[in-house]
Structure 1
Amino acid sequence: MDNIRWGLIGATFIARDWMISAFRNTGGTVASVLSSSPERAKEFAAVKEIPLGTTSMDELLGGDIDAVYISTTNELHVPQALAAIKAGKHVLCEKPLALGYAGAKEMVEAAENAGVVFATNHHLRNSGTHLAMRAAIVAGKIGRPLFARVAHARYLPGFLQGWRLTDPKKGAGVILDITTHDVDSLRFLLGDNPKSVLCMTQTGTLAKGNVEDGAMTLIEFESGLVAHTHDAFTTKYASTGLEIHGTEGSLIGTDCMTQDPIGEVLLRTEAGEERLTIDRGNLYERGLRAFGEAIAGNGKPAASGEDGLWSLAAGLAAVQSGRTGQRVPVTI
């Protein structure tokens, strides 16, 4: 579906630096932006050439828009999504969908009952590296997957070093911010769901109070596969990676847990080593095209509301495990 008219709920960096151009490059238009600050709403709208900047949800939802993109802090997602759904708007929501599972499930079910499309902005499953790895796994290139490793430890840029490090009421901490992406990537690649999580956390050089800025998890999947993830806000010189090891081969992805269309994937089998062909297209645009097709009735979003529920449930289990030291089951 072309010409989707978008309302932005949140005048955020992700909207500014990534999503607005993706909306426009896929044939959409951005009609309005909402911020809690009138000054920020007007400034953001002016700089990004958006017709309306507002602090009123009623004004945004009452305008000529088809869908909303929600990128506000996590505690606001549920009431904002429910308001948009009630107004008959399709919803693309940032992860984590909510701070608690019940609220996330409520908005996913509300969208289903209202007949509107609800998607989670798990962008990494749209990257060329992930798509190439998924195709290789489906084709049986590595046999039965046995183990996985995700390296997603980076350094949180200064302009993001706010509530993510200090405010649990907004969903602070690396687990809900980053580990949820790892879970979604693994679910997408493996076609498998997490069964339980064991997590150890660290408060290192940036976070305050009981907020974790580093975490390592072991995740057991329903198939028996075991995955290890390393996530952090504090490592200045680390690179990202994703590996899947199977009975007949291994997939080794480098620089692949990022928004940028970079990274390589090596397939290693008895026959030798092969670098997979990577589609370098914009991953946000790929996700938006799937969202438009879903609105038109021609498929599903790249990451559905159910996908968002799985990643949130696993993230919440990891948070609980980090606090208790116990393995925690994952269910939706």
Structure 2
Amino acid sequence: MTEARVIPLHADDAGARRRWRLGGPQNGGPAPEPEPEPAVEAEPEPGAEWDELIEFAKRRLGGDYTVDDFGFDRELTDNVLLPALRPLYRSWFRVETIGMHNVPGEGGALVVANHSGTVPIDSLMTAVALHDDHPDHRHLRLLGADLMFRLPGIGTLARKGGATLACTPDAERLMSSGELVGVWPEGFKGIGKPFHDRYKLQRFGRGGFVSAALRTGVPIIPCAIVGAEEIYPKIGDIRPLARLFGAPYFPVTPLFPWFGPLGMIPLPSKWYIEFGTPIPTDTIGAAEADDPMTVFNLTDQVRETIQHTLYRLLSQRRNAFTG
């Protein structure tokens, strides 16, 4: 039985991207070289896609792929997981991103976002946004609750997609290795809140994400997500069933459980994801990570920034489903 090779974080990918610089006499630069005639792309041969699929399957079955120390499988994520989410991102929720330039193209950073929607689809859509809409196609390493990793199948896919347990040591190790890490500090209080409390941020825990950012000196990027609250409007909670399944809540929505499996289809709300101005932590110092007042003040700053951004986006939105 073959096993996937495990590679350390940030082994050489040899994937440098070519960058083009605009210039010309009007900008004091050299005259631009004549542009070559655009190459005519050859039509793919019939069956080429199937050949690629077969080769992909052979590599997977033969264990000819790599994962990092946390189980992140880049090839599977790029070729299977992200493509499976793109129809939701582009056609169903029609996600628009704002402020993508605030997310660094390389190096560690911490994306902190509001959590909502009854089911944590917002974290997945944020991951697609940062990979597809960022010029450097960054992978977001999600920090998830332990419940997610206890679910059969789901936990394994989450690991392969780059997620790991929301604990300080893992977060610090990822950010120190130059990874882009995502955290949703509201946790289940955020995604499970009633619909009448939509877009009202819950408490941000004890600020563990701030301490991790301070120790590693990475910037904190506030992220506001509008649209996720409307996909499964939670109007009730069947607590006996929640206890039976070991879940934090068992939601009741206008369509679920009344319409059975059809009630599990998310409503096609219009989404906006805005990445705010990074909050630097390297000027504060790692020593302040153990100071409760510093951590509290910075946590409150991040929370207030996200809340104000949510209010602004909501004031500009005319309709939850048309934008």
TM-score relative to the length of structure 1: 0.27
Give the number of the structure whose alpha-carbon radius of gyration is greater: 2
TM-score relative to the length of structure 2: 0.28
> Which structure is higher in strand share?
1
